[in-house]
């Protein structure tokens, strides 16, 4: 058990190092002159260019540059933003917090919604409610999330005016107390959260429905029915326990949606998180920020998968014994 955790930790660390190296060479491919990207001035004199190259260490051999890059990145130093002119790590800190405020509840909500939908569909398999829920799940699964966000804003913020269209806070609550700030943030976060759950719960529902209907066709369920188990007893004692392993798979899947969901939902709702930062960095050609946001997504996902894998060993004895 301990050896498994340690080996997984080492593996995750190696993956992170490779991802950092990958990102270094990816951003090296960028066509054009890096001094152009910094100043944006094509009439730059050659001497200034040379000075800039020296300042940024671009005159060093590539191996030295790579070593410096790794050293910096592991210390959380991602360079200076072209657009904001402040260190990238400084921007990333607050942005990451905003993203977590939005995405942690949204993920929980989407998983809960998916489980409920999947359980109902699996239990009433073949009935009208199953058809309804499964079609809804397929729609949610096939719709692109950025488009879903646009439709939700149009419907619930522009047409019905239930929610604010974008942003994280209104303008009228500054200088007020902590509670009204929190309430305002929640009010702004509600529609993005609902959108996120609506876009991603469909896939979870489909997985759980298939798992549950697989379990329900087993012989021991028939046996339990013959013994005289009522519906809820059957579901609680016999079916759900055996359908719970896909649940962990499902949590792993939800980790995989975080990066894309953050980019699409935050961009559409103008939520100042890492995803919106990523979008703006593309728009303004802000390479250091783009790289920083990409690395944050990568490290986040690798660590989350590590967590899910370790969780899995606790839940599934078969993995533990191996």
Partner 1 sequence: MSESSRSGARKVSSIDLLKWRLKVYRKAVKNFWIDYRRSKSALAGLGVIIVLILMSVFPQLFTTYDPYEIFTRPLQPPSLAHVLGTDDMGRDMWSQLVYGTRTSMIVGFVASFLSFLIGIVVGMVSGFKGGIVDAILMRITDFFLSIPSLPLMVVIAFVLKPNLWNVILAITIVVWTSPVRVIRSTVLSLKERLYITRARVLGDSNTRILVRYIAPNVLPIGFATMVLAMGWAIPSEAFLSWLGLGDPTRVSWGMILYYAFARGSFSAGAWWNFIPPGLMLLTVVTAFTMVGRGMEEVLNPRLKST
- Counting contacts by CB under 8 A, is residue 23 touching partner 1? yes
154-173 residues near partner 1, rule: CB under 8 A = 154, 158-159
3-state SS of 251-312 is HHHHHHHHHHHHHHHHHHHCCCCHHHHHHHHHHCCCHHHHHHHHHHHHHHHHHHHHHHHHHH
Beta bridge partners of 87: 80
Convert residues 277-296 into a mask of x (bound to partner 1 by CB under 8 A) and - (unbound). Answer: -xx--xx------xx-xx--
Region binding partner 1 by CB under 8 A among candidate stretches 99-107, 110-118, 221-229, 300-308:
300-308
User: 173 or 245: whose CB is closer to partner 1?
Assistant: 245
91-150 residues near partner 1, rule: CB under 8 A = 138-139, 142-144, 146-148, 150
Q: What are phi and psi of 260, to 5 degrees?
A: -65, -45
- Counting contacts by CB under 8 A, is residue 19 touching partner 1? yes
- Residue pair 317/23 in contact by the 8 Å Cβ criterion: no
Shortest Å distance, C-beta 308 to partner 1: 11
Listed in order, strand segments (DSSP E) in the chain are none
| Distance of alpha carbon 299 from alpha carbon 312, whole angstroms | 20
Region binding partner 1 by CB under 8 A among candidate stretches 2-10, 56-64, 230-238, 256-264:
256-264
Shortest Å distance, C-beta 133 to partner 1: 15
The neighbour count for residue 303, using CB atoms within 10 Å, is 13
- Residue pair 83/76 in contact by the 8 Å Cβ criterion: no
Using only the alpha carbons of the chain, give its radius of gyration. 24
Binding site for partner 1 (CB under 8 A): 15, 18-19, 22-23, 26-27, 29-31, 138-139, 142-144, 146-148, 150-151, 154, 158-159, 210, 213-214, 217, 256, 258-260, 263-264, 268, 278-279, 282-283, 290-291, 293-294, 297-298, 301-302, 305
């Amino acid at each position: 058990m301990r050896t498994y955790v340690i080996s997984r930790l080492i593996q995750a660390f190696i993956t992170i190092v490779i991802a950092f190296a990958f990102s270094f060479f990816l951003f090296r491919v960028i066509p054009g002159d890096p001094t152009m990207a910094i100043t944006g001035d094509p009439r730059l004199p050659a001497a200034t260019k040379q000075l800039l190259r020296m300042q940024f260490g671009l005159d060093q051999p590539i191996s030295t540059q790579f070593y410096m890059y790794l050293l910096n990145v592991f210390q959380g130093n991602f360079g200076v933003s072209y657009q904001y002119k402040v260190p990238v790590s400084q921007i990333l800190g607050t942005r990451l917090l905003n993203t977590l405020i939005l995405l942690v509840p949204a993920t929980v909500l989407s998983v809960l919604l998916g489980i409920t939908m999947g359980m109902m569909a699996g239990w009433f398999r073949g009935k009208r409610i199953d058809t309804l829920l499964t079609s809804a799940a397929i729609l949610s699964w096939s719709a692109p999330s950025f488009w879903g966000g646009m439709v939700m804003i149009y419907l619930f913020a522009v047409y019905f005016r239930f929610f604010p269209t974008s942003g994280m806070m209104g303008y009228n609550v500054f200088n007020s107390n902590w509670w009204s700030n929190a309430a305002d943030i929640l009010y702004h976060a509600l529609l993005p959260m609902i959108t996120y759950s609506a876009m991603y719960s469909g896939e979870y529902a489909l997985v759980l429905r298939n798992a549950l209907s697989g379990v329900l066709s087993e012989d021991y369920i028939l046996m339990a029915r013959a013994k005289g188990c009522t519906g809820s007893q059957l579901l609680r004692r016999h079916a759900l326990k055996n359908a719970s392993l896909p649940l962990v798979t499902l949590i792993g899947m939800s980790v995989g949606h975080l990066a894309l969901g953050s980019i699409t939902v935050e961009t559409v709702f103008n939520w100042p998180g890492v995803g919106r930062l990523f979008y703006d960095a593309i728009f303004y050609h802000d390479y250091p920020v783009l790289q920083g946001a990409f690395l944050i997504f990568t490290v986040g996902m690798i660590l989350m998968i590590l967590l899910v894998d370790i969780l899995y060993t606790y839940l599934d004895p078969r993995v533990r014994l191996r």
